Amino acid sequence: MIDPTEKLRIADTTLRDGEQSPGVVFSLRDRLRIAELLAAVGVDEIEAGTPAIGRRERREIRFLARQHHDFAVSVWCRAIEKDIAEALETEAGIINISFPVSDILLRAMKHDRDYLFRLLDHVLVFADRECPRYSVGLQDAGRAGKAVLEQVAARVGLSRAFRLRLADTVGVLNPMSTSAMIRRVRRIAPHLFLEFHGHNDLGMATANTLAAADAGADYLSVTVNGLGERAGNCPLEEILYALKYSLRRRLEWNNSAMQTLSQMVSHLTGRPISPNKPITGTLTARHESGIHVNCLLRDPLSYMPYPPSELNGRGHEFVIGKHSGISSVIEYYNKLSLELSPVTAQPLLKRIKRLAIHLKRNLTDDELIEIYYDRSEK
């Protein structure tokens, strides 16, 4: 049986599944910089690439694996002896061997369930003999039948594999079905570590990964900024905060390194971070609504799920515009050492709202200072 006191582990696949996002290519220097920051954040494992891509890929993975960071290094390969042999050349500590398990995926590859089970039996024997430590991944587990998953899990449970990765390859699961899948496979193979790998096609990757953790998954597969094919994967930064502030699971991580890592991956990939992206977006601690600001001045958690200082080290950012209230305006001008009372703030607030509506945006510092010194009504 898996020890329930074992800590939850984060397995980052930015360098493998993240790089499979169209148009993304990481150089060796990029990989080393990303790996260094992932180590600083405190992830437990990184999936460093796909050895079958070629000799250069294997050489770069081997170079990365020799850096001796405080995380395990894994690589991904198909359930083919040649792929596994090439993966062993990289000196990665973990070989992730992937099998297609859904009928739709098997048909697309011109195979059927009988082929799957023959392949499984053959490759597991080979992996048992050749691999010091390996994990079995189930592609498209989210669309596989219950009976198939149970049969595959039972067979993997008889091998030397230490872990089973359940992949929601096209993001069709929801938190309820994710939880049910994890619990069902856990019953079949209680001694295997379970990993959940969720895609974000329907916008549920973070929620599904959180549900997997709650159901007993041991490893959570993530990427920085949710980088990945189509709509991407579960974002590292989102699941860390969700675990802490929604599931109340206490994981230790370096928040400053995570923010730096997010910005760096955005720069290296040419993928800007959406302003309202959870955790790392520029709007996550910015407020305009007068009702919100009034409460936040009394309690910084009144309209935030976590202390804003965790994001930027500074706290809330209040902007002035159409939705601002008296408290916001007074707070803004007081920070500039410009005195304002509730009585004198009222006419300024009217002008601020008129100008913000006209310009269809928040006001700049220069515009707000000009309004303060020009008290005449217009």
Q: Name the average pLDDT for the chain.
A: 92
| pLDDT of 72 above 60 | yes
Query: H-helix or E-strand containing 75?
Result: strand 72-78
pLDDT of residue 38: 98
Q: Which of 193, 192, 136, 200 is nearest to 168 (CA)?
A: 200
Which pTM value belongs to this model?
0.91
Task: Categorize the per-residue pLDDT at 317 as very low, low, confident or very high, splitting at 50, 70 and 90.
Answer: confident
Predicted confidence band of residue 296 (pLDDT cuts 50, 70, 90): confident
In 3D space, the residue among 186, 142, 137 whose CA is nearest the CA of residue 161 turns out to be 137
| Amino acid type, 113 | R
pLDDT tens digits, one per residue of 334-361: 888 888 888 888 888 899 889 889 999 9
Quickly state the pLDDT bin for 313 (edges 50, 70, 90): low
The encoded tokens of residue 130 equal: 């050749």
Is 269 or 321 the better-scoring residue by pLDDT?
Answer: 269
Q: What is the pLDDT of residues 155-199, one digit of tens each?
A: 999 999 999 999 999 999 999 999 999 999 999 999 999 999 999
pLDDT reported for residue 312: 61
Residue 15 makes CB contacts below 8 A (sequence gap 6+) with 26, 31, 34, 35, 46, 47, 48, 49
Cβ 373 vs Cβ 344: under 8 Å: no
pLDDT, residue 218, reads 98
The whole-number pLDDT of residue 1 equals 38
Domain ranges of the chain: 9-269, 286-373
Can you give the pLDDT at residue 34? 98
The superfamily (CATH) of domain 9-269 is Aldolase class I (3.20.20.70)
pLDDT band at 5 (very low <50, low <70, confident <90, very high): very low
Tens digit of pLDDT for each residue in 81-133? 999 999 999 999 999 999 999 999 999 999 999 999 999 999 999 999 999 99
What pLDDT is attached to residue 288? 74
For 150, what's the count of Cα atoms within 13 Å in the CB-facing half-sphere? 8
pLDDT value of residue 6: 60
